[in-house]
Each structure stands twice: as C-alpha cells, then as structure tokens.
Amino acid sequence: MLLLVLGIVIVFFVLPIYSVIVTNEIRKRRRVEAALIRAKEDAERASKFKDRFLSTMSHELRTPLNAVMGFSDLLADKRYGELNERQQRYVSHINTGGRHLLKLINDILDLSKIEAGRLELSFGDLPVTAIFSEVVSSLRSLADKKAQTLSHSADPGLCVHADATRVRQVLMNLVGNAIKFTPEGGRIELEAQQAKLEVQVKIRDNGPGIPPEEQKRIFEAFYRLRKSGEGAEGTGLGLAITESLVKLQGGTLGLESEPGRGSCFHFNLPIAKAIREVRPRPVKVARKAVKTSKILIIEDDRLASHLLESQLTSSGYEVVSCDQPERALEMAADLQPQAITLDLLMKPTSGWEILLQLKHDPRTTSIPVIVVTIVDQPTTGAAIGADEYLVKPVDKKTLLAAVARCFEGREGSSPARPILVVEDDGPTREIVAELLRTNGYAVATAADGGSARAQVATSLPELVILDLVLPKLGGFELLAQWRSDPRTAELPIFVLTSKELTALEKTYLRENTQSLFHKQESWKDALLKQLQRAVGKPQAVKV
C-alpha cells in the first residue's frame, strides 16, 4: 500500500515538478549560451572593426601626411627658388608638425598592435656592436646639434637573440630621449655586457634625471614630465611602447635616476642561441681604410680568410670577417657591405645556401657577391646569383679586378629605360617622380594597376616602384601577374607602401620583390641607395 502511494506521489507530483525544474534549467542554460555566443560575436565584430579601422587609418592618414612632409621638404630644399626668412620658418613649422603627427600615428598603431597581441616578431641572433653603431650613426647629427658626446661600447662578439627592427626601435627611443632631455654639452653612453645567459644594455645620460615619485609613471602611455618635457617634442608614448617591446622579447626595462645627476635606462635580452651553445668567436674588424668601401668576407677557414683580408685591406678596403656561416645572412643585412666574398664549402651552412639566402632576402639582394672557392662550377654560381666567380687560388690582382667590376656595375651609366612609378595618390606620385628625376633618373608614372600593366606590356621599364593599395587592380594582383609571365618574371620591383602587412604578405614580398619601403618611415634615402645598387647611378643629375 505504502509503495503504491509512494509510486503515485512520484508519478503525479515529483516527476512533473522535476521535469519543470529541468526544463527551466535547460532554458536558462540555453539563454546564457545564446548570450555568450552573441557577446563573442560582438567582440569578434568589434575586434575586426578595430583591425579594419587601424589599417584604414594608417593608410588614410599616412598618405596625405607623406605629401605634407614631402612637399615641405622640397620647398625647404629651395629647389624651386629662394624662400624668405618668414617662408622658411613657416615651411619648417609645417614639416615639424607633420613629423610630430606621423610619430603620433605610428606610436598609436604600434601600441594598439601590441595590446591586441598582433605584433609579429621575427627573432634572430644580432651582433650588439653593429646595432649600436647603426643607432648611434642615425642619431649622431641630433647629438652634434647639441654638442653632446655620444659613445658606445660592448663586449666584442656579443650577440642577442631578438627582433632586429624592434631592438633598434627600443634603442632609438631610449637614446633619442637621452639626447632630447639632456642639455647642451651633455654625455650619452650606450653599453652592453654579458651577464650569464643574458645581455645587459644600459643607456646612461648626465641630464636632469627623473624624480623618484615620477619613475613609475613615465612608463604610462601619454605621461610626460612637465619640467623635463618643456619645449621638447614628444607624444608620451615612447616609453610605454619601449617597455612592451622589451617584454615581448623576453626582457625587462628598468630605470635608475637621481634628479640633477642623470638617468640610466637599462634592459636585458636573451643572449644569442649560437653563443649559448658555443663560445663566441669575436667578429674581426680590420683597420679602417682610406676608401670607405666595406667588404664582408664569409669564410670559415682562418688562413684563407686572413689571406683575403690582407689582399683587400692593403688596397684600402675596410674588411669585416665572418667565420660563422650560419650568421652570415644577418651580418650582411646589418652591415650592408658594398660587396661580399663567399666561400662555398663551409659547415653547418654551405656557401650555396648562403648565396641563395643573400639573393632572396630584400635586405641583401643587391649586394654584389664574389664567390671565392675551390669548386669549379661558375655556371651554377652565376645561375644562383653570384656576381663574380673566382676559383682558388686567387691572386691579389684577380680579386681586386673582380671587386672593381662589382663596384663599376653599380656606379655605371644612367639606365636608358625609365623607372615606372605606380601610385594612385597624386601628390605621393609626384613626390616619388620628382625625387627620381632630380636624382637623374628617367621616370614614367601610372595612376592605377591597369595603366601600369598596359605600360609594362608595351615596353619594359628598368624597374618598377609599386604601391600596394591601388583601385581595381591591386598591387599584389599586379605583382602576381608579372611574376607568372616569363617576360616580366625578373623585372626588378620595389614596393613603397603605407599598408600594414601581415606575416604572409611580408614573406610573399620578400620572395617576389627586390626591396620594401614603408611610407611611414624615412624611405627616400634608402630608396635612392637601393636604386643605385639595383640599376646604377645616373650620370647627369638634372635639377
């Protein structure tokens, strides 16, 4: 009886109530799930919008700014007549304002990329001395203007494992700040030392220093000390970006400072992998020569390297030796020598592999390579891209003649065919064309992809300077079409763009073009230099 009552209670009361509770619970869960999916979709939409906003903003803002700065530069150069004192002042205000805005835009974009976790780093082993020299030579003129001494020292052969562009950016910012905030006649020193498996880098100045209560806040975005920042240009974003960049590369940025006694910013980075495994063999820099032409010798046999070194230095060339073939590409990219001599039978990376790397990397593709080897295969060497091929033993006269031929090739006569500038933005097109013409090059222009394609189909230009964002037929599409046509497969192409590139796009460009220039960076001198390497220096410069 009891069981029967219990059964009735369960079937008619407990089960219905339980099923109502379960159904409600399921409904609630579904609602929560739906809300979660909606929130996820909203977040994805917002992130996509932010991405699109950032890439559009970078392009739309940088393009007109490029024109503002480019044309004010042309006016300041007085290429089209003298300016009176007031006009000069105004042009200089336009240029300074443009530079400030461009810095702000670049900083904001960098910071948002870092925050969104979208900053792509490419790590490699980098020689500290080479990076120090590069940063110091870029900032030397600023320090000279303030009669400041700018010096650097590092343990010989010291290398860090980091991203070259970002390490440079960190140093440029810290040394730039030191110059900016240290008064006239001050002293700025860069120093690097090995500390176990890390490299400690210090940037010391004898400027105004930073009060203890401000030392944390200066790393916040947009924070600037009113007193030290007075009159000095800046966005207050530099240190926030620098701190994140150091962190992303596995280090920490710190500061020691006493008001009135200067500041010392310091950071650590992992030491180069190669050095972790083997004791570093110092990079030998031979004595500075009368001629400034720098030649990189890639040779793992000490005797052979010594022989080449003495043959070249005795003729006034500056020589840097690399006896670790696995570091050759990075060294060549950092040093930018005027020529390279390359042995073929080396370990762990053979000379053939290095030659391929050198000729496929846009940073090194136009540096002439003289293969010096016992392997008698000049045809294969030429096919891979060797500019000269010498079979050992090589006497001094033969070597010097090959070097001279490489240099002549670059400084030969003006190219007969024009450089084709493909750029949809009128003012930018004019700036690039003007820059080339005033440097003696013949120029043709195209305002869109279709017209560029038609012009190249009619007659081949010497080289193309290609913008990537073009209406209808875009730069990438054009590039793909040219590369798949045997007639244009080898056409030299430089890309000049303000587009934010993905890792995939960068790889594609590295494989299919000779050089890449970003409009947001100072590209003019670099472009002219590369152009001279690629097609030679024009003889008559028409102004």
The half-sphere exposure of 502 on its side-chain side, counting CA atoms within 13 A, is 4
Q: How far apart are CA 447 and CA 421, in angstroms?
A: 8
Dihedral sign (CA 128, 133, 138, 141): positive
- Residue 207 sits in the site that holds ligand ADP (CB under 6 A): yes
- Residue 446 sits in the site that holds ligand ADP (CB under 6 A): no
Nearer to ligand ADP, 254 or 270 (CB): 254
Q: Looking at 98, 238, 251, 538, which residue binds ligand ADP (CB under 6 A)? A: 238
- Residue 239 sits in the site that holds ligand ADP (CB under 6 A): yes
- Residue 186 sits in the site that holds ligand ADP (CB under 6 A): no
Q: Please give the full DSSP string across 182-217, using - where no structure is assigned.
A: SPTT-EEEEEEEEETTEEEEEEEE-SS---GGGTTG
Q: What crossing angle do the helices spanning 475-484 and 503-512 adopt, rounded to 10°?
A: 40
The structure tokens listed for 316 are 């006034």
Q: Looking at 127, 186, 234, 381, which residue binds ligand ADP (CB under 6 A)? A: 234
Beta-strand relationship, 187-195 and 253-257: unpaired
CB of 267 to ligand ADP, least distance (A): 13
Contacts of 19 (CB under 8 A, 6+ apart): none
Q: Which of residues 246-265 bind ligand ADP (CB under 6 A)?
A: 263
The candidate with the shortest Cα–Cα distance to 387, out of 262, 249, 506, 533, is 533
- Residue 58 sits in the site that holds ligand ADP (CB under 6 A): no
Q: How far apart are CA 376 and CA 387, in angstroms?
A: 15
CB of 458 to ligand ADP, least distance (A): 50
Q: Which of residues 154-183 bind ligand ADP (CB under 6 A)?
A: 177-178, 181
The structure tokens listed for 376 are 């008698």
CB of 112 to ligand ADP, least distance (A): 16
DSSP 10: I
CB of 254 to ligand ADP, least distance (A): 13
CB of 252 to ligand ADP, least distance (A): 17
- Sheet strands (E) in 70-148: 123-127
CB of 218 to ligand ADP, least distance (A): 4
**Among 158-166, 226-234, 274-282, 508-516, which window interacts with ligand ADP (CB under 6 A)?**
226-234
Nearer to ligand ADP, 224 or 519 (CB): 224
Q: How far apart are CA 494 and CA 516, in angstroms?
A: 6
The candidate with the shortest Cα–Cα distance to 321, out of 351, 354, 283, is 283
Nearer to ligand ADP, 151 or 314 (CB): 151
Peptide bond into 348 cis (omega under 30): yes
- Residue 362 sits in the site that holds ligand ADP (CB under 6 A): no
* Phi and psi torsions of 429, nearest 5°: -60, -45
Q: Looking at 95, 169, 235, 520, which residue binds ligand ADP (CB under 6 A)? A: 235
- Sheet strands (E) in 78-158: 123-127, 149-154
- Residue 94 sits in the site that holds ligand ADP (CB under 6 A): no
Cβ contact 242:251 at 8 Å: no
Nearer to ligand ADP, 168 or 437 (CB): 168
Q: Looking at 205, 300, 318, 467, which residue binds ligand ADP (CB under 6 A)? A: 205
- Residue 410 sits in the site that holds ligand ADP (CB under 6 A): no
**Among 23-31, 228-236, 406-414, 513-521, which window interacts with ligand ADP (CB under 6 A)?**
228-236
CB of 501 to ligand ADP, least distance (A): 26
Q: How far apart are CA 234 and CA 250, in angstroms?
A: 27
CB of 242 to ligand ADP, least distance (A): 7
Nearer to ligand ADP, 183 or 393 (CB): 183
CB of 476 to ligand ADP, least distance (A): 35
Q: What crossing angle do the helices spanning 426-438 and 15-76 adopt, rounded to 10°?
A: 40
Q: How far apart are CA 102 and CA 243, in angstroms?
A: 21
**Among 117-125, 158-166, 235-243, 301-309, which window interacts with ligand ADP (CB under 6 A)?**
235-243
CB of 265 to ligand ADP, least distance (A): 7
How deeply is 256 buried, as exposed, middle or buried, from its count of CB atoms within 10 A (0-12, 13-18, 19+)? middle
CB of 243 to ligand ADP, least distance (A): 9
- Residue 97 sits in the site that holds ligand ADP (CB under 6 A): no
Cβ contact 423:467 at 8 Å: yes
Nearer to ligand ADP, 238 or 538 (CB): 238
One-letter amino acid at 533 equals R
**Among 69-77, 229-237, 410-418, 526-534, which window interacts with ligand ADP (CB under 6 A)?**
229-237
Instruction: Please report, for residues 377, 385, 390, the alpha-carbon distance to residue 382 in angstroms, rounded to integers and kept in the order given.
Output: 9, 5, 11
CB of 264 to ligand ADP, least distance (A): 9
Cβ contact 245:179 at 8 Å: no
Helix (H, G, I), strand (E, B) or coil at 89: helix
Q: How far apart are CA 477 and CA 483, in angstroms?
A: 10
Q: Looking at 98, 127, 186, 208, which residue binds ligand ADP (CB under 6 A)? A: 208
- Residue 211 sits in the site that holds ligand ADP (CB under 6 A): no
- Residue 191 sits in the site that holds ligand ADP (CB under 6 A): no
Neighbours of 104 (CB within 10 A): 15
Residues pairing with 253 in the sheet: 267
- Residue 422 sits in the site that holds ligand ADP (CB under 6 A): no
Residues near ligand ADP (CB under 6 A), total: 19
CB of 320 to ligand ADP, least distance (A): 32
CB of 542 to ligand ADP, least distance (A): 41
Nearer to ligand ADP, 225 or 289 (CB): 225
- Residues of this chain that interact with ligand ADP (CB under 6 A) are 177-178, 181, 205, 207-208, 210, 218, 224-225, 228-229, 234-239, 263
